[in-house]
Amino acid sequence: MASMQEMIAQAERDLLHTYNRYQVVLDRGEGCFLYDTDGKKYLDMMSGIGVFALGYGNQEFNDALKAQIDKVIHTSNYFYNEPAIRAAHRLKEVSGMDRVFFTNSGAEAIEGALKAAVKYAWLKDGAGDHEIIAMDHSFHGRTYGALAVTGKESYRAPFGTMPANARFAKINDLASVEAVFSDRTCAIIVETVQGEGGIYPAEESFLRALRKICDERDILLIFDEVQCGMGRTGYMFAWQKYGIRPDILTTAKALGCGIPVGAFLLTEHVAQHSLTAGDHGTTYGGNPLATAAINAVLDIYEREQIPARAAETGAYLYDRLEELAADYPEIIDHRGRGLMQGLEFEGTVGGIIARAMDRGVIFINAGPNVIRFLPPLTISKDEIDEALRLLRESIRE
């Protein structure tokens, strides 16, 4: 077998260079640990950017996928399939929403949500110039529509005119939302907890005010819970902490625990007044393999009470990070919910993350100066202690 460095060199010759990857070739996983091709062990504190909520090598999950592979993987949406029917009904139950459309990714879920919102407005007035209010520092995806509402100008600038007319406000700043509101506004989109933007939870008062604005003006409220949903904050979806239901909800990442699948969900009212046959589609979305993964995830979540477990270990992580932050003046803020937290430093954190990787623990940043904590939701308190011990060493160095 080729050496790790030989494989990396081959990848650099063959792959389009759109990622600045860690210089590691990962080979397998077990629990909350990953192993590279040289056999080195890493404690994983990013879980594939919030994807592997159940950790690696969960036998029940793997067996469910193997069983479905032996039956049928794909049929297309010209037909019904039993795993998708079951997954849609169960996702409705845990989300409190009414209608489900399965996608292949979080970005595709955002695309569908935006189309539904624009169609809802078009059916009312027939206009084609509606606007969407999004948040500064938000991240909704790299496809054109998702990029249009992503609140980082540097991401949008190279790609010219965006397909959605977006205006940007500040999260938790109602006055900034009202300042960009117009008679063309058809929706407001917000991450219930901003992820890549630096781990900023939306405050209850802000979300409640957005809900009131949308209700009064008959526009739609979209919550992006691609990263913060599926139990990560201690609730199946972060908005459930406050009971402020959106009109459209997006989810992905931990929904399939590694199988590419996402969804956008709508209230019955929006579903009846937006997308109809021919308005939206997908070849692979909702295929039997992907939805079998959702069913396995929801089975395990229910039996093992994964959201409650994340709430407990998340509170432990919060206390331990508070202690760490108190010991290092270069840490200027700590924020987050459940097992989605961040430490903000005065300077950049790339060096700390690299030193931690050398010590055998994987972290990810959220912007240049925030270390993001997104471990599997099955992580133990002992594993949290070990990760933070190695982080302390990396900060000191």
- Set out the domains of the chain in order of their start, with CATH numbers: 79-304 (3.40.640.10)
The pTM for the full model equals: 0.97
Question: If we measure between CA atoms, which residue out of 189, 190, 203, 288 comes closest to residue 241?
Answer: 203
Task: Pick 299 or 163 by higher pLDDT.
Answer: 299
Instruction: Return the pLDDT at 164.
Output: 85
Quote the distance between the C-alpha of residue 293 and its chain's center. Answer: 17
The whole-number pLDDT of residue 319 equals 98
pLDDT in tens, 166-187: 999 999 999 999 999 999 999 9
Confidence at residue 175, expressed as pLDDT on a 0 to 100 scale: 98
Nearest to 340 by CA among 223, 194, 213: 194
Residue 298's alpha-carbon distances to 64, 83, 172, 174, in angstroms, are 12, 12, 32, 35
Per-residue HEC secondary structure of 39-102 comes to CCEEEECCHHHHCCCCCECCHHHHHHHHHHHHHCCCCCCCCCCHHHHHHHHHHHHHHCCCEEEE
pLDDT digits (tens, 9 = 90+) for 216-256: 999 999 999 999 999 999 999 999 999 999 999 999 999 99
State yes or no: pLDDT of 361 exceeds 90: yes
pLDDT above 90 covers a percentage of the chain that reads 98
R_g over Cα of the chain: 21
Here the tokens at position 223 are: 């919550």
3-state secondary structure of 297: helix
Judge whether residue 9 has pLDDT over 90. yes
Using the predicted structure, report yes or no on whether residue 316 has a pLDDT greater than 90. Answer: yes
Q: CA of 257: how far to CAs of 116, 189, 326, 355, 364, in Å?
A: 26, 25, 34, 28, 18
Structure tokens at 232: 């990560």
Question: 17-71: per-residue pLDDT in tens?
Answer: 999 999 999 999 999 999 999 999 999 999 999 999 999 999 999 999 999 999 9
Per-residue pLDDT for 348 more than 90? yes
Helix 306-327 × helix 381-396 angle, to 10°: 30
* Predicted local confidence at residue 130, as pLDDT: 96
Residues 83-135: tens digit of each pLDDT: 999 999 999 999 999 999 999 999 999 999 999 999 999 999 999 999 999 99
Across the chain, mean pLDDT equals 97
Q: pLDDT band at residue 393, thresholds of 50, 70 and 90?
A: very high
Residue 1 has pLDDT above 90, yes or no: no
